Amino acid sequence: MRISRSSPWPILVAFIAGTVILGVLTSSFRGVWNPREGLEFVARTPSGVPGFPPAFAYLISGTGGESKRMLRLLKAVYHPRNKYLLYMDAVSSEEERTALAVCVRLEKVFRVFRNVHMVGKSYAVDSTGPSSLAATLHGAAVLLKMGGEWDWFVTLSSSDYPIVTQDDLLHTFTDLPRDLNFVDHTSDLGWKRYHRFERITVDPNLYMGNNSKPFIAKESRRSPDAFTIFTGSPWVILSRSFVEYCVHGWENLPRQLLMYAANVPFPLEFYFHTVLCNSPQFRNTTVNGDLRFFVWDNPPKEEPLLLNMTHFRRIVRSGAAFARRFAEDDVVLRNLDRKVLRRSSAAGRWRCTEGAAEAAEKAQCGSWGDIGAVEPGPSGRRLKSSVAGLVAEERRRSDQCRSR
């Protein structure tokens, strides 16, 4: 009798599925980890308490061939307080997803704090179609389901990069009300009224296994009159309470708009904006800004320009938290790592000593520092003042979501 040799991949995948992907779910921790005590933690963080650093839940998405960039981005936005969920779409192969999961597993600090997870199965997504909204809501739902305390949901793609350290970001958000939503929005639709809201798009990624391009139907439809449409940047920072509202949908508005969005091109440029601004409960929590830095071509194309060293000064002085789009391994990323994120040395007090990242890898580091202690650098002070300006501007207005 012949016994066919099975490939090692299914076993490896199953192993990783059981251990890394949606493994033991943990919360934000405060406290000190001692390698001699094994993977045990003490004292949970009372996150959500004003005056205490918050925690972010990051959804990092990418497509086939982008796992290296995703890993680099993950390391650049890593902080033990936060939660991370990685998602790769159907263009990626199982081997690539497995390799990414293995890389995550091999990083000691991710293992210790158990706050990096990956969606095991992939499905088709197109960034211009409604499948992108489905994937974002799926990521948000998984981050909620994983439990643990986090305060804001942040969406990033593999061509994004942070331009402040996590300490800068945590410090900036420490004193902010936890219910604020950072969504760049307007109800001035302009050319989008016809091209986005009167045309009907069909996204095959919602019903086909492989990635494919959405198409536009010949018929058009009337603009909605049951709600006011708001559009803006697809990159958002949403409060946990608003994410729960969208995911659980105990009011009809989020679901009604979701079903409407099933035929709207670029729904990430309208969905959260429109739900927020049409909801009496949440409209006062909007801050009109996405904290991102882009440079647009003239006239603007679908995506912002690729950033390079000629933009470096503007990036650093922008007062934003993230920038896009970067080419893989661009020299500007190395400069951001070295000069802004200070990643060659220990960035963040939670790393115990100078060069602790490497020391900790070798378990020479006795304990991790206090992950509740955040120390902003110069870019953190710029970010703090730009966010304070945005929030103050919104507070002065009597109505945050102005209709034009």
Ligand X SMILES: *[C@@H]1O[C@H](CO)[C@@H](O)[C@H](O)[C@H]1NC(C)=O
Kindly tell me which of 64 and 366 has the beta carbon lying closer to ligand X. 64
* Structure token pair of residue 148: 């643990």
Kindly tell me which of 109 and 336 has the beta carbon lying closer to ligand X. 336
Tokens 């507070």 locate to: 395
Tokens 């919104």 locate to: 394
Segment 291 to 320, residues that bind ligand X, using CB under 6 A: 305-306, 308, 310
Pick the binder of ligand X from 251, 329, 358, 399 (CB under 6 A).
Answer: 399
Tokens 């990414």 locate to: 100
Kindly tell me which of 247 and 305 has the beta carbon lying closer to ligand X. 305
Q: How far is the CB of 41 from ligand X (least distance, A)?
A: 38
403 binds ligand X (CB under 6 A): no
Please tell me the distance from the alpha carbon of residue 168 to that of residue 145, in angstroms, as a whole number.
27
Q: How far is the CB of 271 from ligand X (least distance, A)?
A: 21
Q: What is the per-residue DSSP string for 293-311?
A: E----SS--SSPPPB-GGG
Please tell me the distance from the alpha carbon of residue 199 to that of residue 27, in angstroms, as a whole number.
44
Question: Which of 5-13, 190-198, 229-237, 278-286 is the region at the interface with ligand X (rule: CB under 6 A)?
Answer: 278-286
Residue among 96, 53, 237 at smallest CA distance from 162: 237
* β-strand partners of 87: 61
Q: For ligand X, how many residues bind (rule: CB under 6 A)?
A: 11
Kindly tell me which of 297 and 358 has the beta carbon lying closer to ligand X. 297
Kindly tell me which of 252 and 398 has the beta carbon lying closer to ligand X. 398
Please tell me the distance from the alpha carbon of residue 165 to that of residue 220, in angstroms, as a whole number.
46
Sequence-distant (≥ 6) Cβ neighbours of residue 28 within 8 angstroms:
44, 45, 47, 55, 80, 81, 82, 83, 115, 148, 149, 150, 371
The SS3 call for residue 20 is coil
209 binds ligand X (CB under 6 A): yes
Pick the binder of ligand X from 220, 223, 281, 364 (CB under 6 A).
Answer: 281
Q: How far is the CB of 36 from ligand X (least distance, A)?
A: 48
Pick the binder of ligand X from 298, 354, 398, 404 (CB under 6 A).
Answer: 398
Pick the binder of ligand X from 280, 354, 362, 404 (CB under 6 A).
Answer: 280
Sequence-distant (≥ 6) Cβ neighbours of residue 67 within 8 angstroms:
88, 92, 96, 97, 99, 100, 103
Q: How far is the CB of 335 from ligand X (least distance, A)?
A: 13
Pick the binder of ligand X from 34, 210, 220, 385 (CB under 6 A).
Answer: 210
Please tell me the distance from the alpha carbon of residue 355 to that of residue 345, in angstroms, as a whole number.
5
Kindly tell me which of 38 and 280 has the beta carbon lying closer to ligand X. 280
Segment 71 to 100, residues that bind ligand X, using CB under 6 A: none
Kindly tell me which of 38 and 398 has the beta carbon lying closer to ligand X. 398
Kindly tell me which of 147 and 209 has the beta carbon lying closer to ligand X. 209
Pick the binder of ligand X from 127, 284, 335, 386 (CB under 6 A).
Answer: 284
Please tell me the distance from the alpha carbon of residue 289 to that of residue 304, in angstroms, as a whole number.
17
4 binds ligand X (CB under 6 A): no
Residue among 272, 281, 329 at smallest CA distance from 306: 329
Q: How far is the CB of 391 from ligand X (least distance, A)?
A: 15
Residue-level length of the chain:
404
Please tell me the distance from the alpha carbon of residue 202 to that of residue 224, in angstroms, as a whole number.
18
* Structure token pair of residue 66: 């982008």
Q: How far is the CB of 96 from ligand X (least distance, A)?
A: 15
Kindly tell me which of 37 and 297 has the beta carbon lying closer to ligand X. 297
Q: How far is the CB of 396 from ligand X (least distance, A)?
A: 11
Please tell me the distance from the alpha carbon of residue 77 to that of residue 71, in angstroms, as a whole number.
10
Which residues contribute to the site for ligand X (CB under 6 A)?
209-210, 280-281, 284, 305-306, 308, 310, 398-399
